[in-house]
């Protein structure tokens, strides 16, 4: 299942906080697509993905970041 979080127009750290909150309620393997205009969002979400073991991809189209996270199975790595 794929969910979309529209964080366009929100400034750091709101896209990160909203993505973290949304991921907490998702099952492993589910996909979260975050739409963001904040230039810090790809950096913040890449760090979140690395810290928690989520798959991560990013794409920029007409000034909007499409940041895709696939929730990792199990708890975050220690």
**Catalytically active residues, by annotation:** 12
Q: Which stretch of DSSP H or E encloses residue 59?
A: strand 55-61
Structure-token pair, residue 44: 């913040």
Say which residues have a Cβ less than 8 Å from residue 78's Cβ, sequence separation at least 6. none
- To which H or E segment does residue 76 belong? none
């Amino acid at each position: 299942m794929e969910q979309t979080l529209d964080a366009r127009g929100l400034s750091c750290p709101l896209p990160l906080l909203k993505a973290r909150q949304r991921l907490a309620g998702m099952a492993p393997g589910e996909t979260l697509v975050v739409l963001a205009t904040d230039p810090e969002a790809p950096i913040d979400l890449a760090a979140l993905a690395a810290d928690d073991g989520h798959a991560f991809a990013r794409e920029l189209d007409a000034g909007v970041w499409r940041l895709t996270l696939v929730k990792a199975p199990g708890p975050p790595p220690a």
